[in-house]
Amino acid sequence: MFTGGFDKVAKIDLNDLEEELGVVIQGAKDRVRAQAEMDRMNRTHLGLAHPILTGIPTLGLWPAISQANALRELAGKMRRESPAIAKGIAQLDRENHQREVALMARHIAEREADARENMMALGSMTALSGLDTYLRHRGR
């Protein structure tokens, strides 16, 4: 039977969990606990345990939704229960925040420079317009 492709898509594994968390699970204890929890979820979630039965009538939506829900549930559980993972995620959040602040500062500086150039051009145009008006009305 051709269940290999469905099983691969429908089952959650450690790579999926690490991608959902955004960090690599380093500790052996955390890896073992995560693997045990993933095995339990793969057995108990109907969409993950029987991807062909649930996937064919729903065009694959049920297994995909079951996988997403199981990953979200497991990622939240790992964040709460593992200090190492929580620390890694906090560090990643700090780095992302610093990157965003630097990017915003650069964008603000660029916008201010553009605004200054526009104001200078507008001032030049206004001065020329005033000079033109003066020259046209001078002879009256």
Burial of 34 by CB count in 10 Å (0-12 exposed, 13-18 middle, 19+ buried)? buried
Q: Higher-confidence residue: 60 or 125?
A: 60
What are the domain boundaries of the chain?
1-81, 83-140
Lowest mean pLDDT among 60-64, 114-118, 126-130: 126-130
Q: What is the token pair recorded at 2?
A: 């051709």
* pLDDT for the residue numbered 131: 65
Where are the alpha helices (H) located in the chain, listed in sequence order?
4-10, 14-21, 28-44, 46-49, 51-55, 61-81, 83-137
pTM of the model: 0.62
Q: How confident is the model at residue 1 (pLDDT cuts 50, 70, 90)?
A: very low
- Per-residue model confidence (pLDDT) at position 134: 72
- Binning pLDDT at 50, 70 and 90, where does residue 128 land? low
